[in-house]
Amino acid sequence: MENIAILTSGGDAPGMNACIRAVVRTAIHHGLCVYGVQSGYEGLIDDRFRRLGTTDVSNIVQRGGTILHSARSTRFLSTDGRAEAAENLSRRGIEGLVVIGGDGSFRGADHLSREHGIAIVGVPATIDNDIWGTDLTIGFDTAVNTALEAVDKVRDTAAAHDRLFIIEVMGRTAGFIALQVGVAGGAEDILIPETPTNLPAICSLVRRRVAEGRTSNILVVAEGDEAGSAFEIASKIEELADLKSRVTVLGHVQRGGSPTSVDRVLASKLGWGAIDALMDGAWPCFVGEMNSIVTRHPLADAWTNRKELDPMLLNLASILTN
């Protein structure tokens, strides 16, 4: 293998740039030539490639977003779209591809690899942390810290006004961000899709706490919670118990910003791991980190297995939110 390409796909995550840097520099260290693909699978289909050298990836380890840009491609879902992508790779003599993204991106990668024999290694990057086979995904730690900073600030104003706040965090259908932020931020309740949400019980608890003198209450809600969005929950709580609240939806602020050291180091290790897997001929696969060891898994494991929340943290949350 002489030429490889790299792309970032799906929702961006802080640390993607650190990973691009590690992939490019490790590949060059092994004598490979690297092409960056612009805007994920869209650029693969539209033939938007550029050569990347070590200097092209300097001064990016600390930057959020992705220098390669990202996209969610519907064209890549079709066999025709993937055939065009494969043709563009083959014309340049590119045999290997590193895909940095979430499980949706890995599905596309799996099809491309099986249909056209391209050596593909996936690197899990999403703020949601919902990929099995890695303790953390790239971007999760930064997103959690960004959300936590916001929760701490909201706490100040909640305490000053003796208010109930409902703070919505991202996570798609998973509660990893909400659970981590809720425990770290001392939330009075954490509402996540993985556990049933009992709004009447939450209202009684809020009333009890207020009666006991804990007059600021913060509920951290995962966007995928079955009780609805933070705004819907706020109106249900008002209807049920005549409790007024303020809502803060953190939204895409959680996706941006300079990555934490945890994300930068994880991204660097996994970028190295992706090249290591390519050089070993271990493709198609994705790399992860479990108990500090870089691991390799079949791409399909990312969507056939469901990553569970830490049961210890769940139990702790139920004790500490009392």
Looking at the chain, how many residues does it have? 322
Distance CA 137, CA 287 (A): 10
| SS3 label, residue 2 | coil
Identify which range of 57-65, 122-130, 208-216, 264-272 contacts ligand F6P by CB under 6 A.
Answer: 122-130
Structure tokens at 310: 């830490």
| Size of site (CB under 6 A) for ligand F6P | 10
| Residue spans of beta strands (DSSP E) within the chain | 3-8, 33-37, 49-52, 94-101, 119-124, 164-169, 189-191, 217-222, 245-249, 285-290, 293-297
| Active-site pick, 12, 128, 130, 225 | 128
133 binds ligand F6P (CB under 6 A): no
Task: Please report how close the Cβ of residue 138 comes to ligand F6P at its closest, in angstroms.
Answer: 12
Residue placing its CB nearer to ligand F6P in the complex, 14 or 96: 14
43 binds ligand F6P (CB under 6 A): no
Which residue from 75, 172, 207, 236 is in contact with ligand F6P, where contact means CB under 6 A? 172
Tally DSSP H helices, then E strands, for the chain: 11, 11
Four-residue CA torsion sign, 281, 284, 286, 290: negative
Residue placing its CB nearer to ligand F6P in the complex, 26 or 254: 254
Nearest residue relative to ligand F6P (C-beta): 170
Task: Please report how close the Cβ of residue 139 comes to ligand F6P at its closest, in angstroms.
Answer: 8
* Residue 215, C-beta contacts closer than 8 angstroms, at least 6 positions apart: 159, 162, 209
Identify which range of 35-43, 46-54, 120-128, 144-152 contacts ligand F6P by CB under 6 A.
Answer: 120-128
| 250: Cα separation from own chain's centroid | 15
107 binds ligand F6P (CB under 6 A): no
Tell which residue, 130, 94, 114, 188, has the closest CA to residue 13.
130
Residue placing its CB nearer to ligand F6P in the complex, 13 or 22: 13
CA Rg value for the chain: 22
DSSP secondary structure string, 111-139?
HHHHHH--EEEEEEB-TT---TTSSS-BT
Distance CA 121, CA 284 (A): 6
Residues within window 253-292 making contact with ligand F6P, judged by CB under 6 A: 255
Identify which range of 43-51, 80-88, 125-133, 305-313 contacts ligand F6P by CB under 6 A.
Answer: 125-133
Residue placing its CB nearer to ligand F6P in the complex, 37 or 170: 170
Residue placing its CB nearer to ligand F6P in the complex, 171 or 271: 171
Residue placing its CB nearer to ligand F6P in the complex, 24 or 250: 250
Identify which range of 84-92, 165-173, 195-203, 295-303 contacts ligand F6P by CB under 6 A.
Answer: 165-173
124 binds ligand F6P (CB under 6 A): no
Tell which residue, 8, 146, 155, has the closest CA to residue 71.
8
Residue type, 252: H
Which residue from 5, 9, 11, 15 is in contact with ligand F6P, where contact means CB under 6 A? 11
Identify which range of 111-119, 168-176, 265-273, 275-283 contacts ligand F6P by CB under 6 A.
Answer: 168-176
Distance CA 78, CA 214 (A): 55
170 binds ligand F6P (CB under 6 A): yes
Distance CA 20, CA 17 (A): 5
Q: Using the structure block, give the residue that is written with the tokens 């996540």.
A: 192
105 binds ligand F6P (CB under 6 A): no
CB 98 within 8 A of CB 23: yes
Tell me whether residue 135 is one of the annotated catalytic residues.
no
Q: Which residues are catalytic?
A: 128
Judged by the rule CB under 6 A, the positions of this chain that interact with ligand F6P are: 11, 102, 126-128, 170-172, 223, 255
